[in-house]
Amino acid sequence: DAGVIQSPRHEVTEMGQEVTLRCKPISGHNSLFWYRQTMMRGLELLIYFNNNVPIDDSGMPEDRFSAKMPNASFSTLKIQPSEPRDSAVYFCASSPLGAGVLETQYFGPGTRLLVL
């Protein structure tokens, strides 16, 4: 199994630009999670999908952030417009069996985002 795949692995952009992060979960997993990790705030859950439906987006910081999961094998996290304070490592994780937060999550390698 290839594990959770994220792209790009690194992204450097200028303030005001749109950023799109991509994630392919492990095949057969029903739940997908987007996290942001910074030194100051640690690992924060941004949004959680179950069977492609957003279940909890209370962690999305503001309207500049949006996430979609058009099918079971693909999700995007978009930031528009980006700001320097969005600089962080963004992780995608997936879990099996549709039980979501009760199940083990498997993390992708992360996308390191730097907004100048």
Partner 1 sequence: QKEVEQNSGPLSVPEGAIASLNCTYSDRGSQSFFWYRQYSGKSPELIMFIYSNGDKEDGRFTAQLNKASQYVSLLIRDSQPSDSATYLCALGGGSKFYFGSGTKLNVKP
Residues contacting 42, CB < 8 A, separation 6+: none
Q: Under the criterion CB under 8 A, does residue 42 sit at the interface with partner 1?
A: yes
Distance CA 84, CA 82 (A): 7
Distance CA 76, CA 49 (A): 11
For the bound state, the minimum distance from the C-beta of residue 81 to partner 1, rounded and expressed in Å, comes to 27
How many residues sit close enough to partner 1 to count as binding (CB under 8 A)? 21
Q: Under the criterion CB under 8 A, does residue 102 sit at the interface with partner 1?
A: yes
Q: Name which of 16 and 28 has its Cβ closer to partner 1.
A: 28
Among 43, 97, 114, 116, binds partner 1 (CB under 8 A): 43
Residues 52-81 that bind partner 1 (CB under 8 A): 55-56
